[in-house]
Amino acid sequence: MRILKWAFISICVAGSIWAGAKIAFDEYPEVKRLREECSREAAVVEELKRERDHVTREIHELDDDPRAVERVARSEGWVKKGETVILIPEKNTDDK
C-alpha cells in the first residue's frame, strides 16, 4: 500500500513537472508574442483616437466657422461664382 502511495505521488510530481515544462517551453513564447502584439495594437488604437479627436475638432470648426469652410474649399481648388482663377506655374529649380 505504501508503495502505491509513493508511486501515485511520484506520478503526480512528474506530471506537474512535465506540465510546467510544457507551459514554460511551448506556451510562454506564444504568450510573450501575444503581449507584444497587444502592445502594438494599443499604440495603433491610441493613434486612431488622436486622429478621431482631430477630425472631430475639424468637423466642429467647419460647423461653427464660415472662414474654416472657405479655407478648406480654397485648399481643394474651389472658387466663388464670378471669380477668375489664375494658375501660376511653380518655378522649376532644375532649369537654369
- Each residue's pLDDT expressed in tens, for the chain with a length of 96 residues: 788 888 888 988 888 988 888 777 777 888 889 999 999 999 999 999 999 999 999 999 999 999 999 898 888 888 888 888 788 888 887 755
Q: How far is CA 17 from CA 13, 20, 32, 42, 52, in A?
A: 6, 5, 21, 35, 50
Residue 23 lies inside a defined structural domain of this protein:
no
Tell me, yes or no, whether 71 lies in a domain: yes
In the prediction, which pLDDT does 96 show?
Answer: 55
Domain boundaries, position 46: 29-78
Task: Give a yes or no: residue 20 inside a domain.
Answer: no
pLDDT, position 95: 59
Residue 89 in any domain: the answer is no
Tell me the torsion sign for CA atoms 64, 66, 71, 73. positive
pLDDT at 58: 93
Within-domain flag for 52: yes
- The answer as to whether 67 is a domain residue is yes
Give the model's pLDDT for residue 31.
Answer: 82
Site of grid cell 502584439: 37
Question: C-alpha angle with apex 12: 8 to 14, nearest 5 degrees?
Answer: 115
Q: Is residue 70 part of a domain?
A: yes
Overall number of domains in the chain: 1
